[in-house]
Amino acid sequence: MSEADGILRVRQPIGVQYRWSAGPNATSHLQGLIEGRLIGKRCPGCELVYFPPRNGVCPKCARILGADVEVGPRGTVTTFCIVNVPFLGQKVKIPYVAAQILLDGADISMQHLIQECEADEVRIGMRVEPVWKDRSEWGPTLESIAHFRPTGEPDVKLGSEAGAS
Amino acid sequence: MRDVAIVGTAQRPSQVETNLTSVELILPVIDEVITKVGIDRSEIGFWCHGSCDYMSGQPFSFVAAVDAIGAWPPIVESHVEADGALALYEAWVKIQTGECDIAVVFSNGKTTSGPIDRILTLQADPYTVAPLWPGFDAMSALQAQACLDSGVVTERAMAEVASRSLADAKTNAIAYAKGDHSVDELLARPYTVAPLRAHDCGLPVDGANAVVLAAGDAARRLAKRPAWIRGIDHRIDTQRLGARDLTESNSARVAAQHAGVGRDKVDVAELHAPYTHQELLLRSAVGLDANKTRINPSGGALVANPAMAAGLARFAEAAEAIFAGGADRAVAHCTSGPCLQQNLVCVMEGE
């Protein structure tokens, strides 16, 4: 019996590294996050404002997005969920709230955390504002914002279209 | 069977390391082909996309491509994790079912966004071959060596394929590599993965393309001289390299028989051969005589090889040859997997 006959299992880790392109049409959005600004893009066709600018293309019109539009910083919760499940790599203490937020001036919502209030106080229509991390931690990512918190303004009644996507 | 034809094509010039997203890469070719053919998006009954998530490193990245279509109001669309030529096959089947008359097929490959030689290795048998990371070029080199040893190809014949392809590419705006290089000059170059030299391997580029398929009267309305699909067939060899005779392509031979290649003369053949020795194997398997058939007048995949789009590019080039009247009968071919594992063969004719 040769030595190889005893081998039942081998480990063979695999991995591939990529160079990911944000694309020219999303670059101003990412650049804005480095500078503490919220920049979306307006579709030259339907005039909807995308924040984030998806892949630089309006999916309704199939057109390259046009002008930069500064949005927010305040916004409205369009829907949310309370996370109670622990999982590997979890960074936030449970229970916490992940919400879809429609920034003022934007036509699609974005996902972020709601903190500085109890999870059961979060509701659809709640007004919120971003809490930025320390300037030294700003980068081309929505993680430049630590979380959103309630502004205390009266709730907004959302139409059927707002934050639909 | 319904008569189905390619009625328009659009291809993006090849680039290396484009900074565009896949969606930004696709959108202009879809716009171009729709404008060229003169149809409204509302007339398109089916959209079919070919691409590979492993190449972008993002699961379900192909879903984003729907943004490039304009999916409002809702559309009927599908995706194949494969070359766009396989998406064309699906669209052809869709039209055969009678569910639609006009379909748009498109594909994209950002081949330079990752180490493509390693990524394509993931197409190999996942238990015994892929974990060894042999590399796609190295697997092809094994095949080339087997072909040299058995005498079915020679290094000179391989260099002749490269020399002809690079010269033909001079008139192809899509091509990336082009120029006049003698066979002796090419043979004097060093091996990269022996017995392959750099010019024996298709040049990885970023690219995208789109074609419009239409049935019967719609095709006659949309094109002066539609490229009618007279036969199309897809065959696959086992993924176990050791169980195959690598010095021939059995699946290409069977696909060509079923597509009806040999029923009449072939004026132009666009063979998807990412390696020079593979063009030689394919010519023999498909049953083409290089003295009677113009092989890869576009320069083929050697001069621009956007993985997952290079096969559909062959269909676009063959159809354009029919549109222009330079060919009455053309063959388009797409391969996939290591060492010509899968082969799709299509015969097109003008009227």
Output the 3-class SS for chain A.
Answer: CCHHHHCCCCCCCCCCCCCCCCCCCCHHHHHHHHCCCCEEEECCCCCCEECCCCCCEECCCCEECCCEEECCCCEEEEEEEEECCCCCCCCCCCCEEEEEEEECCCCCCEEEEECCCCHHHCCCCCEEEEEECCHHHCCCCHHHEEEEEECCCCCCCCCCCCCCC
Residues on chain B touching A14 (C-beta within 8 angstroms): 130-131, 133
Cβ(A39)–Cβ(A70) under 8 Å? Answer: yes
**Arithmetic mean of pLDDT over chain A:** 90
Mean pLDDT throughout A32-39?
A: 96
A57 reaches B (C-beta below 8 A)? yes
Residues on chain B touching A20 (C-beta within 8 angstroms): 56-57, 113
Residues on chain B touching A60 (C-beta within 8 angstroms): 70-72
> What are the DSSP calls for B88-132, one per residue?
HHHHHHHHHTTS-SEEEEEEEEEGGGS-HHHHGGGGS-TTTTGGG
Assigned token pair, A84: 């109670």
Residues on chain A touching B27 (C-beta within 8 angstroms): 57, 62-64
How close is the nearest chain A Cα to the Cα of B155, in Å?
A: 33
In terms of CATH, what superfamily is B4-112+204-227? Thiolase/Chalcone synthase (3.40.47.10)
Domain boundaries, chain A: 21-150
How close is the nearest chain A Cα to the Cα of B214, in Å?
A: 22
**Residue A2 banded pLDDT, cuts 50, 70, 90:** low
What pTM, to 2 d.p., does this model score?
0.92
Angle made by CA atoms B177, B277, B268, in degrees to the nearest 5: 70
**Residue A3 banded pLDDT, cuts 50, 70, 90:** low
Q: What's the CATH class of domain B116-201+230-349?
A: alpha beta
**Residue A90 banded pLDDT, cuts 50, 70, 90:** confident
Please count the other Cβ atoms lying within 10 Å of the Cβ belonging to residue B67.
23
Higher pLDDT, A25 or B344: B344
A18 reaches B (C-beta below 8 A)? yes
Taking only the tens place, the pLDDT of each residue in B78-136 is: 999 999 999 999 999 999 999 999 999 999 999 999 999 999 998 888 888 888 889 99
What whole-number distance in Å separates Cα of residue B249 and Cα of residue B277? Answer: 12
What whole-number distance in Å separates Cα of residue B95 and Cα of residue B42? Answer: 16
Residues on chain A touching B131 (C-beta within 8 angstroms): 10, 12, 14
How close is the nearest chain B Cα to the Cα of A18, in Å?
A: 5
What whole-number distance in Å separates Cα of residue B83 and Cα of residue B67? Answer: 20
A165: nearest Cα among A95, A57, A79 = A79
Residue with the two structure tokens 């040299």: B148
Cβ(A124)–Cβ(A79) under 8 Å? Answer: yes
Residues on chain B touching A9 (C-beta within 8 angstroms): none
How close is the nearest chain A Cα to the Cα of B254, in Å?
A: 35
What whole-number distance in Å separates Cα of residue A96 and Cα of residue B73? Answer: 36
- Which residue type occupies B344? L
| CB-based contact A19 B31, cutoff 8 Å | no
Domain boundaries, chain B: 4-112+204-227, 116-201+230-349
Assigned token pair, B124: 């190999």
Residue A22 phi, psi (nearest 5) = -75, -25
A7 reaches B (C-beta below 8 A)? no
Residue with the two structure tokens 């082969």: B343
Please count the other Cβ atoms lying within 10 Å of the Cβ belonging to residue A31.
14
What whole-number distance in Å separates Cα of residue B259 and Cα of residue B346? Answer: 6
**Residue A163 banded pLDDT, cuts 50, 70, 90:** very low
A118: nearest Cα among A138, A135, A93 = A93
pLDDT of A9:
81
**Residue A20 banded pLDDT, cuts 50, 70, 90:** confident
pLDDT of A165:
43
What whole-number distance in Å separates Cα of residue B20 and Cα of residue B121? Answer: 25
Do the domains at B4-112+204-227 and B116-201+230-349 have one common CATH topology? yes
Residue B230 phi, psi (nearest 5) = -95, -20
pLDDT of A164:
44
Facing residues of A66 across strands? none
Burial of B126 (C-beta count, 10 Å sphere; 0-12/13-18/19+)? exposed
Instruction: Tell me if residue B336 falls in helix, strand or coil.
Output: strand
| CB-based contact A19 B115, cutoff 8 Å | no
Assigned token pair, A126: 């709640």
Cβ(B235)–Cβ(B261) under 8 Å? Answer: no
What whole-number distance in Å separates Cα of residue A90 and Cα of residue A78? Answer: 24
Segments in chain B below pLDDT 50: none
What interface predicted TM-score (ipTM) does this complex get? Answer: 0.81
The Cβ-side half-sphere exposure at B222, using a 13 Å CA radius, reads: 31
